[in-house]
Chains A and B, each alone.
Chain A
Amino acid sequence: MSPDYLLTQVFNGLASGAFYALLALGLSVIFGMLRVVNFAHGTMYMLGAFATYYGATLFHLPFFAALIVAPIVVGLFGIVLERALLRHLYPLDPIYNLLLTFALVLVIENVVRYFAGALGSPYAIPDALSGATNLGFTIYPTYKLFVIAVALLMCAVVWYVVERTPFGARIRAATENPTLVRAFGIDTGRLVTVTFGAGVALAALAGVLAAPTTNVQPDMGDAIIIYTFAIVVIGGLGSILGSILAGFILGVVQAFGTVVFPPISTTLIFIVMVVVIVFRPAGLFGRPEGGR
């Protein structure tokens, strides 16, 4: 294997890792604030792709507009779900919101399948991003480079907002001690809603980016959500940096594993997860604490 070939695999890994990172990031942001593991995160990713597809076929919405519009639309839908449903279960064991969001997966996915059909629809790569770019060592698909760039940008933005702005400070404070933050006159309920909407929007953004790379189909979220779960377990659930790094790293690990032994591509992430739990039960970047 030549170095150029290996470097190409690194880029392939980063391209799939971009999706894992965006999804894991959203999942972690939501978990950090709400203590909810959003099972419907993959479903929101699927809705992002469908919003892109139907935006184009029904309203001639161009791809670059969909990058903005679809996450907003799906994020608002997420806010409705949070206000109407999830909210009622916060006082209980977080496991119940996992179950509730699992119910949402079934309902939303089957409704989409009922109306759109189980078979997918293709969505073309926008002209500006089709073709390939010469990276010096290889000719690489421009669209994949775009995906990597957008994901890195969004990860940086989220990290900056949460870690470096006053708004992020409120979120972090409300995560640590909601009662005290409320005593300071900050509406934590609104923070929770905004955070959930933002996390969902990140998943939808990943869905928009995925639309040109795969068939837009109702079960596309099913396949990726369990990988994302494994990745946040590896990175440490609730750790923003851990989720981003684990997402990109596992993407690369998977790309190399596939080269060495193709059948392992489907299970390698789960195997890595098992190894990580054996040696670091809290994940690579997670803080060891009680199970909940």
Chain B
Amino acid sequence: MSRRFTVVMAALAAIGLVLPWFVYPVFATQLLCFALFAVSLDLLFGYVGLLSFGQAMFWGGGGYAAAVLLQRAHVDDVFAILGGIVYAAVLAFLVGAISVRRSGIYFAMITLAVAQIQYFTAYQFTDLTGGENGINLATRGLFFGVHITSDRTFYYVVLVLVALGVWLALRVVRSPFGRVLQAMRENEPRAIALGFRVNRYKLAVFTLAGALAGFAGALAVLANRLAGLDMVDWHTSGAVVMMSVLGGVGTVAGPIVGAGIFQSLDYFVSKTAIGEETNMVMGAIFGLCVLLFRRGIVGSFLVPGPKRAKITD
């Protein structure tokens, strides 16, 4: 682990601890959720080279699952979150089983197309999902004995949970399993020749990434008390790709930074004359980033370190 990486993580932790005292706590919680969401994408794109362009189906799917459980089954918040994770993991396993048969550009197109099935399901099964209105939730309750009705208290609960998710992602990419993933990214035929069943590894990491995205989505639903169609919209899949690339893929820390910067910038741009059409600015920044700055912010900062994102070259 490089010293620079430690510096980045420490800075992120420090910002995370004080954030809800400087910005609106619900917005801050949203940032945390997107950070974990972006990390889930990094597991695929950064460490295996699989660009999932349908990651919103797990984020939104997990969010909707949690919301339906809360609204219909009146479960505790904890079980709603667990339900969101389980739903997203099962969905990711099924989608992964299909999509890991192809790689590269095909993988991106297939995940994008399959994610539309989740979108239209959420749109059309109005009895369960509320259709265009989404699912509005009442206040939050208890979380392991902690009252999470206050937005700021809930922020800190989410901070702990997101930190756990990020820790898990870091553990995975630094484990022998993670080494195999990176070997596949660098040279898949060689990984196959060494006897690794690459599709099983891909399916495993795809399921894990889906579960993490569902976890983040369920938390976002609890934070906003709303599960809406924008969560399963393919633009959200695109946005999380933009966040990750902007921050620097293959670094875990990069997508966290990218999520924070992307969300903040998007907010500031929306306050200018551009209004709702923020994507003309975000798209331009992202386009320049893809053309000139493929390592991303954190990726560039970590360059002297031993592990830099090879995929960016």
Q: Please, how many angstroms separate the alpha-carbon atoms of A267 and B57 in the complex?
A: 14
The answer on a CB contact under 8 Å between B117 and A271 is: yes
Q: Name the residue of chain B whose CB is nearest to the CB of A111.
A: B280
Question: From residue B249, how far is it (CB to closest CB) to chain A in Å?
Answer: 11
Taking CB atoms, residues of chain A closer than 8 Å to B117 are 267, 270-271
Q: Please, how many angstroms separate the alpha-carbon atoms of A34 and B142 in the complex?
A: 56
Q: Please, how many angstroms separate the alpha-carbon atoms of A206 and B239 in the complex?
A: 28
Taking CB atoms, residues of chain A closer than 8 Å to B108 are 37, 95, 98
Question: From residue B44, how far is it (CB to closest CB) to chain A in Å?
Answer: 12
| Complex partner residue of A226 from B98, B102, B107, B234, CB under 8 angstroms | B234
Taking CB atoms, residues of chain B closer than 8 Å to A103 are 283-284, 286-287, 290
What size tier do the contact residues of chain B reach?
A: 35 or more
| Complex partner residue of B105 from A37, A85, A263, A281, CB under 8 angstroms | A37
Q: Please, how many angstroms separate the alpha-carbon atoms of A113 and B283 in the complex?
A: 14
Taking CB atoms, residues of chain B closer than 8 Å to A102 are 238, 241, 283, 286
The answer on a CB contact under 8 Å between A106 and B286 is: yes
Report if B277 contacts A (CB, 8 A). yes
The answer on a CB contact under 8 Å between B283 and A226 is: no
Query: At the interface, is chain B mostly helix, strand, loop or mixed?
Result: helix
Report if B224 contacts A (CB, 8 A). no
Question: From residue B9, how far is it (CB to closest CB) to chain A in Å?
Answer: 26
Question: From residue A93, how far is it (CB to closest CB) to chain B in Å?
Answer: 7
Q: Name the residue of chain B whose CB is nearest to the CB of A278.
A: B98
Q: Please, how many angstroms separate the alpha-carbon atoms of A229 and B109 in the complex?
A: 6
Report if A89 contacts B (CB, 8 A). yes
Taking CB atoms, residues of chain B closer than 8 Å to A114 are 274, 277, 280
Report if A105 contacts B (CB, 8 A). yes
Which of A226, A263, A271: most chain B Cβ within 10 A? A226
Q: Name the residue of chain B whose CB is nearest to the CB of A109.
A: B279
The answer on a CB contact under 8 Å between B110 and A106 is: no
Question: From residue A148, how far is it (CB to closest CB) to chain B in Å?
Answer: 25
Taking CB atoms, residues of chain A closer than 8 Å to B120 are 266-267
Q: Name the residue of chain B whose CB is nearest to the CB of A263.
A: B124
Q: Please, how many angstroms separate the alpha-carbon atoms of A85 and B288 in the complex?
A: 10
The answer on a CB contact under 8 Å between A226 and B116 is: yes
Query: At the interface, is chain A mostly helix, strand, loop or mixed?
Result: helix
Taking CB atoms, residues of chain A closer than 8 Å to B102 are 277, 281, 291
The answer on a CB contact under 8 Å between B116 and A270 is: yes
Report if A273 contacts B (CB, 8 A). yes
Q: Please, how many angstroms separate the alpha-carbon atoms of A64 and B291 in the complex?
A: 39
The answer on a CB contact under 8 Å between A233 and B311 is: no
The answer on a CB contact under 8 Å between B280 and A107 is: yes
The answer on a CB contact under 8 Å between A292 and B103 is: yes
The answer on a CB contact under 8 Å between A110 and B279 is: yes
Q: Name the residue of chain B whose CB is nearest to the CB of A265.
A: B120
Report if A99 contacts B (CB, 8 A). yes
Q: Name the residue of chain A whose CB is nearest to the CB of B241.
A: A99
Interface residues in A233-292 (C-beta closer than 8 Å to B): 233, 237, 263, 266-267, 270-271, 273-274, 277-278, 281, 290-292
Q: Please, how many angstroms separate the alpha-carbon atoms of A263 and B116 in the complex?
A: 14
The answer on a CB contact under 8 Å between A226 and B280 is: no
Report if B104 contacts A (CB, 8 A). yes
Interface string of B151-180 (1 = CB under 8 A from A): 000000000000000000000000000000
Q: Please, how many angstroms separate the alpha-carbon atoms of A80 and B110 in the complex?
A: 29
The answer on a CB contact under 8 Å between B283 and A105 is: yes
The answer on a CB contact under 8 Å between B291 and A85 is: yes
Question: From residue B230, how far is it (CB to closest CB) to chain A in Å?
Answer: 14
Q: Name the residue of chain B whose CB is nearest to the CB of A114.
A: B277
With A85-B291, A229-B112 as given contacts, are A95 and B105 in contact (CB-CB < 8 Å)? yes
Which of A89, A233, A267, A281: most chain B Cβ within 10 A? A267
The answer on a CB contact under 8 Å between B283 and A106 is: yes
| Complex partner residue of B290 from A89, A110, A226, A237, CB under 8 angstroms | A89
Q: Name the residue of chain A whose CB is nearest to the CB of B233.
A: A222
Interface residues in A53-73 (C-beta closer than 8 Å to B): none
Interface residues in B44-77 (C-beta closer than 8 Å to A): 49, 51
Q: Please, how many angstroms separate the alpha-carbon atoms of A110 and B120 in the complex?
A: 23
The answer on a CB contact under 8 Å between B98 and A277 is: yes
Report if B245 contacts A (CB, 8 A). yes
Q: Name the residue of chain B whose CB is nearest to the CB of A283.
A: B106
Q: Please, how many angstroms separate the alpha-carbon atoms of A291 and B291 in the complex?
A: 23
Report if B137 contacts A (CB, 8 A). no
| Complex partner residue of B277 from A96, A110, A278, CB under 8 angstroms | A110
The answer on a CB contact under 8 Å between A107 and B279 is: yes
The answer on a CB contact under 8 Å between B279 and A291 is: no
Q: Please, how many angstroms separate the alpha-carbon atoms of A226 and B120 in the complex?
A: 13
Give the top 3 A-B pairs by smallest Cβ distance, nearest first. A106-B283, A291-B103, A103-B287
Task: List residues of chain A with CB under 8 Å of any chain B CB.
Answer: 37, 85, 88-89, 92-96, 98-100, 102-107, 109-111, 113-114, 226, 229-230, 232-233, 237, 263, 266-267, 270-271, 273-274, 277-278, 281, 290-292
In addition to A37-B108, A110-B280, A266-B123, 12 A-B residue pairs with Cβ atoms within 8 Å of each other are A37-B105, A85-B287, A95-B105, A102-B286, A103-B283, A106-B279, A107-B284, A226-B234, A267-B117, A270-B116, A277-B110, A278-B98
30 A-B residue pairs with Cβ-Cβ distance under 8 Å, sorted by A, are A37-B108, A93-B49, A93-B104, A93-B311, A95-B108, A99-B51, A100-B290, A102-B241, A104-B287, A106-B280, A106-B286, A107-B287, A110-B277, A110-B278, A110-B283, A114-B274, A229-B112, A263-B124, A266-B116, A266-B120, A266-B123, A266-B124, A267-B116, A271-B117, A273-B114, A277-B99, A281-B101, A291-B104, A291-B105, A292-B104
